[in-house]
Amino acid sequence: MTSTWRTRAECDSPELTDDHLDGIHAWWRAANYLSVGQIYLLRNPLLREPLNRDDVKPRLLGHWGTTPGLNFLYAHLNRVISERHQKALYITGPGHGGPGLVASNYLDGVYTDVYPEITRDEGGLQRLFKQFSFPGGIPSHVAPETPGSIHEGGELGYALSHAYGAAFDNPDLLVFAVVGDGEAETGPLATSWHSNKFLNPVTDGVVLPVLHLNGFKIANPTVLARISEEELVDLMQGYGHTPHIFTAGFDDEEPEGYHRRYAELLDGVMDDVAAIRATAAEQGENDAERPRWPMIVFRTPKGWTGPKEIDGHKTEGSWRSHQVPLANARDTEEHLKNLNDWLMSYRPEELFDDSGALREEIARLAPPVGLRMGERPEANGGVIRKELRLPNFEDFAVDVPHPGAAIAEATRVLGTWLTGVVEENRHNFRIFGPDETASNRLQGVYDETDKQWMADYESPEVDQHLARRGQVMEMLSEHQCQGWLEGYLLTGRHGLMSSYEAFIHIVDSMVNQHAKWLKVSDELEWRRPIASLNYLLSSHVWRQDHNGFSHQDPGFIDLIVNKKADVVRVYLPPDANTLLSTFDHCLRSTQYINVVVAGKQPSPQWLTMDEAVKHCTRGLGVWEWAGTEEPGTSPDVVLGCAGDVPTVEVLAAADLLRRHIPDLKVRVVNVVDLMRLQDEKEHPHGLSNRDFDTIFTPDKPVIFNYHGYPWLIHRLTYRRTGHSNIHVRGYKEEGTTTTPFDMAMLNDIDRYHLVMDVIDRVPGLGTRYAGLRQEMSDARLDARAYARTYGDDIPEVKDWVWPDAGDAATNQQVDETVFTGGDNE
Amino acid sequence: MTSTWRTRAECDSPELTDDHLDGIHAWWRAANYLSVGQIYLLRNPLLREPLNRDDVKPRLLGHWGTTPGLNFLYAHLNRVISERHQKALYITGPGHGGPGLVASNYLDGVYTDVYPEITRDEGGLQRLFKQFSFPGGIPSHVAPETPGSIHEGGELGYALSHAYGAAFDNPDLLVFAVVGDGEAETGPLATSWHSNKFLNPVTDGVVLPVLHLNGFKIANPTVLARISEEELVDLMQGYGHTPHIFTAGFDDEEPEGYHRRYAELLDGVMDDVAAIRATAAEQGENDAERPRWPMIVFRTPKGWTGPKEIDGHKTEGSWRSHQVPLANARDTEEHLKNLNDWLMSYRPEELFDDSGALREEIARLAPPVGLRMGERPEANGGVIRKELRLPNFEDFAVDVPHPGAAIAEATRVLGTWLTGVVEENRHNFRIFGPDETASNRLQGVYDETDKQWMADYESPEVDQHLARRGQVMEMLSEHQCQGWLEGYLLTGRHGLMSSYEAFIHIVDSMVNQHAKWLKVSDELEWRRPIASLNYLLSSHVWRQDHNGFSHQDPGFIDLIVNKKADVVRVYLPPDANTLLSTFDHCLRSTQYINVVVAGKQPSPQWLTMDEAVKHCTRGLGVWEWAGTEEPGTSPDVVLGCAGDVPTVEVLAAADLLRRHIPDLKVRVVNVVDLMRLQDEKEHPHGLSNRDFDTIFTPDKPVIFNYHGYPWLIHRLTYRRTGHSNIHVRGYKEEGTTTTPFDMAMLNDIDRYHLVMDVIDRVPGLGTRYAGLRQEMSDARLDARAYARTYGDDIPEVKDWVWPDAGDAATNQQVDETVFTGGDNE
């Protein structure tokens, strides 16, 4: 792997001239002018007529405070990119600075390339200004609509995680990551500095963090701006960086002065980076030491170059610059004059020619086409995404002679297949997880790869499967893993996140943001599809044997289902073969968030691989071998199930019913793809009403045993004909450290309770089978008493196997014609 | 305020003798013995018979790795507590170490005080061991069941936030906060070190963080154990601490050696704390400088004192000690012998007398009764919670001459009342929020208090409302604010958290944990009720004018509704007076999580204070003045609403219907307490079916305009008679930076669409009012076109007021007899 990292001395024209600095300053003024214009102006974009109140937008929406700093950094980085021919991405942690990024993209021409109606003339400027934060226009933050962005400016805290995710396996890429000092107070950002312990200095790219220390949030100073410089330096050194501190804007220094100081600082930092890369390359990817990467502290006033004072209150250098400093610009003469003076302070007449185009001498300072940051393909990952090479998952099938006759750990089987995925996709596939890859039984992948680890090593005896280069990323922070994975996917690669089901809630809000990103991206023709964000949630609610109540929460599915139907999918494969088929599908898909919940404990297996593929293709289906209905007749009751543990209990209940109520016609329906339950008008995977009624019947009792909170099944099915007959069992927030069967009983999803439900719900059974009902109730008490005495599940339960499956399994004949609605992807 | 902080020299017997150290070592051995016993032994607790496989639990569940370190720290802290008469809480960040905390509580007698059946003899030991991680017993983690705990061992990351929350306004309290080095990798923990910028060294207590650096997680080394000591020291200094590093257990040092070294270190640290407190007291609470607080790095082997090797693999000092090192203790002779040797290595015969009681010479090392950490009232906050003194909220009423005739910002009005709450409760009420107290319009409170801020100051012009002591806590980390508030409530105080609605999802998983804590606490007689956790969610989905799509998410309510009905409440007051009444109720309540969603923008006001109190008491009600039904007849259609913006639109739709379809009988129902919609069997606040049908009718179309995701209303009402007639509008994940009315239109909750819905759903209207329907559709297009052209809502919309309310309002006569179901608290 050759490095493109060059020192300034190796560049074509290494000296830093006054012309350079004048050019940068002009560019910065232009970017600031365009930023202010976007926030305030509805028309008269170059102020060629006297500013009139009707030129000002009636609703002033946006954020000025962080913008001039972002523009400054962008302008200077452009010089470095041009001189060193450096591929670079710009991550805007302070995402409020939307106008700045739009302005910079407009100045170098990218914006017009992407949005041709925003021309490089006065008319284009007018449209550029008007569209900002305007109905039918663009959002105020850095967003999918912003060329060059992979980082939504909304929720704060993920700038560095995204930056590192982008850098992994991109050895020639510089990721310039601006971190706001407000954002720096968030937890996720505070730990994400440690990402440098996971970055290989040969095979990954470089992240250059810049702490944008402008001192204020909405209404407060920031913590990092109000500790001593000594503490701040200690903190950054403690995080493993060499900090370089730049301060400007607080005194009368001329622009040439601070531009020169910053340009020299940045050159020095880039030379340090080049030296680090060179050293690491010599050491080699498997032996490189963790370098002490540089970072920059950029201490400048909030709202730099904006009004010093408004109405007698300090504005530049205070929280008053955070949003729109002149909120009444339209309403008072004085504020209108303030705005006019502010805009004119950038001397627009020197920046734009008569047509309104950026003057040629400024425009040519843009990086060469191809290296402009807004057009880097890494920021539109779909254009460089390569399909994964996937081993044939059917080769990894568990042999299931008949339903229930094999025992396997589903995620461990998945791990054997993922080993092949790892092997076949060395540089664009990684597995992320908070210290749980092995706990979730995916350790098979360590046959082919390691956990990437650039911190210190102790001894091979305790440092198993750690290496300086590997495709598994583990840090005990769901935020960090999620952020890394998002950055990795958004730059065109593939991956999955494995986590305990309960604690994936830690990233709820990050998932919300990613879902929003996908939804908006889908509406932008120029953004190409990226690989789906795949979750493997294991160690789930029913099997938290070691950890108990605090580790039991199946609610992530509910969160996901609130997102736009176009971007979310939820799968609950009941065994190993269905899990393989499901995951193969997920890794091939794009633009989705796929949530797969699967068990890791030894469990009975139900379907052969052929059956599994068919079942997963349909998303749900009748398991005729498990039921007792006769062909051509309608069942008396339907037992539905979704999730591995609920499926075991439903099959056990069906077995009990077969033995004890032989004339009862029972149908068993298993659901893998939860969205099939929904109406086809609500979700692309939804079944038609006709198909739903055919499977679940329009009028018979349905006892549905569900993995998660029961009401979700009601929500998904509330429009169905027979909805009022659907009775759902699921997790009702009862739990502790106990045996698996006790957990089932605590929440009434156990086989005995299901049989009681059937007796209660099927007309006529209540009287005839009062004795059986009592027997089931007693069985629950026995099981509980056994557990409380011996600390274990009763043997019959643990050793249960499907009784008549040997023959029944061969009878499986699902009518495929039933499944006509929805797509099957 | 007098300080109880004394130096060792001021203690009664300041010398540290070998007897002290022997005693501590014996205590530690006993705690370790009891910890191992809990994990492994079903019977034979003192090994007075040879260890037999049937003595071992059949399912070994729990975590050993962190436990011996916790026991060590606890034992040494006991000495300090005894000598200095120090009130102290112990926060167990590595909450997996449940057996350790139970053991320590058993040794000092607290456990038997709380659970008398766990006697201090062999029988009690047997019960102590058996109950651990056993069906019907206690969970494996530190939990509500653990005396002295305010910190569930489940999800990681909140140890320091909880510790600081406990310390605020507890000037005499030492909060000894053990942070696991796994936990230290989480985001929330990484930023929580900065809590020291918010702790007043005079009026708050002391947090002494101990980084429990045992080096390993489940399957990996920890980051902080694998950076250089220089970096670690820099990091802690950067966080504002003076680190004291203690290392033991990696060599052959005798116990006396390391016990003496640690005891001296701890004495030194406590003396430093005393000196800091003395200096700060001299400076005074309003002028005290932020001290550089000490912290301890406690570097010891994971699974210290456990088996060095098992099956030839290094176990002590490796991740192999994380859970249960001898998972097969019951199944192989060799492992059984390993277990026996391990237990015997603690020399139980020297620790317990013939009866199985702890020997007297060891038992007397416990802190005096009252100071034992397990019995501190701060750890069972309900016992010391004082009711808040609340100003009469009715005195803060907005004058509403008739519905819609006043305009107010609801949260700003709430702020005026909260000002009085702050004033009346100086030492047990705080407001927490991530830099959004003023943004959410609660800035009235700054008339009476400030934001507590112990970092540097710049100038009064920019540092408004900052002070070294204040009742508002702001840091840009929802995690931190939530953790602080939880710690504050759990130690017996009161507070609220104000946040943007969308970003409260950041703490989803913390809320889950707190809800679990409350649920379990409710089941423990000895835990007394603590103040409710109150959320004020403003800057909500419909009014994110500046921020757009990324800031729009009303899904927190859905998360909350998944929790146990006993502990969650959701309120959507439609105006200022209802918000006042709601919040007064919330601040008086205990053991709930109350979510209140309210707007901050100028909005029409509907109810006088008398009406508001009645309406809130009922939780929902018919607004007869807004409807057109005639007394004694049934309406043709019901317009339901919940949330301020949806309510405005429903009232506007009712107004349009009154004008355009004068013979249509419309009923308007507003819902404040969302749980009223649910069945009384599902939630204590639920309406009976009879009452629900009386209000919503069993058979008429209901158009329900809801603040959040529409399906929640279906979920809450799916058992209702007329459920299939309920048609819900709400947020359907459409948004951007745009005008408020455009937001309503994007999601079809606007008045025009509601009128169209009525025409579509009421039989017979479709044909008669096709023209009106078209007119409504055109009005939408006009409004959208106006917004896209002028960037503003159409004036008619903005200036809308309720037309006929002047008279109608006086006609309000709600039949109170309708509301008989549910409780009203």
What does the pLDDT look like over A205-254, one tens digit per residue?
999 999 999 999 988 999 999 999 999 999 999 999 999 999 999 999 99
Per residue in B76-113, pLDDT (tens digit) is: 999 999 999 999 999 999 988 999 999 999 999 999 99
Inform me whether the C-beta atom of residue B450 falls under 8 Å from chain A C-beta atoms: no
Q: How close is the nearest chain B Cα to the Cα of A20, in Å?
A: 35
Rounded Cα gap, residues A304 and A315, in angstroms:
9
Supply A635's token pair: 């069942």
Contact A789, B137 (CB under 8 A): no
Q: Which DSSP state fits A12?
A: S
Specify the amino acid at residue B757.
D
- How many helical (H) and strand (E) elements, i.e. helices and strands, does chain A have? 27, 22
Res A570 pLDDT > 50: yes
Picking from A313, A372, A467, the residue whose alpha carbon sits closest to that of residue A85 is: A372
Q: Which of B220, B231, B435 sits opposite A474 (nearest CB)?
A: B220
CB atoms within 10 A of CB B265: 17
Backbone φ, ψ for residue B657 (5° rounding): -65, -40
Longest dimension (CA), chain A: 98
Supply A148's token pair: 């060059």
**A550: which chain B residues are within 8 Å (Cβ-Cβ)?**
95, 139, 141, 143, 152-155, 513, 516
Contact B135 A191 (CB under 8 A): no
The pLDDT confidence band at residue A778, using thresholds 50, 70 and 90, is: very high
Res A813 pLDDT > 60: no
| Rg value, chain B, Cα | 31
Which stretch of DSSP H or E encloses residue B431?
Answer: strand B429-433
Q: Which residue of A has its CA nearest to B154?
A: A550
Q: Within its chain, how far is the Cα of B100 from the centroid?
A: 25
Res A798 pLDDT > 70: no
Res A822 pLDDT > 50: no
Place of tokens 């013979």: B663
Say if domain B620-793 classifies as CATH 3.40.50.920.
Answer: yes
Q: Which residues pair with B89 in a beta bridge?
A: B175
Picking from A482, A480, A484, A490, the residue whose alpha carbon sits closest to that of residue A520 is: A490
| Structure-derived torsion over alpha carbons of residues B645, B650, B651, B654, reported in degrees to the nearest 10 | 160
Exposed (0-12), middle (13-18) or buried (19+): which is A588, by Cβ within 10 Å?
Answer: middle
Contact A59 B233 (CB under 8 A): no
What are the E-state strand segments in A228-304? 241-247, 293-299
**Which residues have CB under 8 Å from B199's CB, separation 6+?**
B164, B167, B168, B207, B454
The pLDDT confidence band at residue B795, using thresholds 50, 70 and 90, is: low
State the average pLDDT over residues B320-340.
Answer: 89
**Which residues have CB under 8 Å from A115's CB, separation 6+?**
none
Q: What is the predicted pLDDT for the residue at A405? A: 86
In a mutational test of the A interface, the residue from B549, B568, B726, B780 whose CB has the highest number of chain A CBs within 10 Å is B549
In a mutational test of the B interface, the residue from A54, A63, A130, A191 whose CB has the highest number of chain B CBs within 10 Å is A191
Within 17-46 of B, beta carbons closer than 8 Å to A belong to 42
Q: Which of A95, A476, A505 sits opposite B185 (nearest CB)?
A: A476
Specify the amino acid at residue A90.
Y
Contact A671, A618 (CB under 8 A): no
Contact B556, B504 (CB under 8 A): yes
Backbone φ, ψ for residue B489 (5° rounding): -70, -40
Q: What is the predicted pLDDT for the residue at A808? A: 36
Q: How close is the nearest chain B Cα to the Cα of A21, in Å?
A: 32
Rounded Cα gap, residues B811 and A325, in angstroms:
47
Q: How close is the nearest chain B Cα to the Cα of A452, in Å?
A: 11
Mean pLDDT over each residue of chain B, to the nearest integer: 93
Query: Is the pTM here over 0.90, yes or no?
Result: yes
Half-sphere exposure of B465 toward its Cβ, with a 13 Å CA cutoff?
20
Rounded Cα gap, residues B258 and B264, in angstroms:
10
Within 319-358 of B, beta carbons closer than 8 Å to A belong to 319, 323
Q: What is the predicted pLDDT for the residue at A738? A: 85
Backbone φ, ψ for residue A702 (5° rounding): -115, 120
The pLDDT confidence band at residue B807, using thresholds 50, 70 and 90, is: very low
| Rg value, chain A, Cα | 31
Helix (H), strand (E), coil (C) string for A382-421? HHCCCCCCCCCHHHHCCCCCCCCCEEEEHHHHHHHHHHHH
Contact A187 B313 (CB under 8 A): no
How many interface pairs between A and B have CB atoms less than 8 angstroms apart? Answer: 381
Within 214-253 of B, beta carbons closer than 8 Å to A belong to 215-223, 226-228, 231-240
Contact B42, B54 (CB under 8 A): yes
State the average pLDDT over residues B392-421.
Answer: 95
At the top level of CATH, the class of B22-380 is alpha beta
In this structure, the strands spanning B173-180 and B206-213 are parallel
Contact B549 A143 (CB under 8 A): yes
Contact A456 B737 (CB under 8 A): no
Q: How close is the nearest chain A Cα to the Cα of B350, in Å?
A: 30
Percent of chain A with pLDDT over 70: 96
Q: Which residues pair with B174 in a beta bridge?
A: B88, B206
Q: Which DSSP state fits A607?
A: -
Q: What is the predicted pLDDT for the residue at A811? A: 30
**Which residues have CB under 8 Å from B599's CB, separation 6+?**
B409, B410, B411, B538, B540, B542, B543, B644, B645
The pLDDT confidence band at residue B794, using thresholds 50, 70 and 90, is: confident
Res A821 pLDDT > 50: no
Q: Which residue of A has its CA nearest to B291?
A: A227
Longest dimension (CA), chain B: 98
State the average pLDDT over residues B343-367.
Answer: 96
Return the ∠ at Cα A265 (arms to A262 and A269), rounded to 5°.
135
CB atoms within 10 A of CB B772: 18
Per residue in A69-123, pLDDT (tens digit) is: 999 999 999 999 999 999 999 999 998 899 999 999 999 999 999 999 999 999 9
- How many helical (H) and strand (E) elements, i.e. helices and strands, does chain B have? 27, 22
Q: What is the predicted pLDDT for the residue at B811? A: 30
Res B730 pLDDT > 90: yes
Per residue in A6-40, pLDDT (tens digit) is: 898 888 777 888 998 999 999 999 999 999 999 99
Domain ranges of chain B: 22-380, 394-602, 620-793
Q: Which residue of A has its CA nearest to B505?
A: A509
The pLDDT confidence band at residue B796, using thresholds 50, 70 and 90, is: low
Q: Which residue of A has its CA nearest to B709?
A: A562
CATH topology of B22-380 equal to that of B394-602?
A: yes
Return the ∠ at Cα B689 (arms to B683 and B694), rounded to 5°.
125
Superfamily of domain B394-602: Thiamin diphosphate (ThDP)-binding fold, Pyr/PP domains (3.40.50.970)
Whether ipTM exceeds 0.90: yes
In a mutational test of the A interface, the residue from B130, B236, B330, B550 whose CB has the highest number of chain A CBs within 10 Å is B550
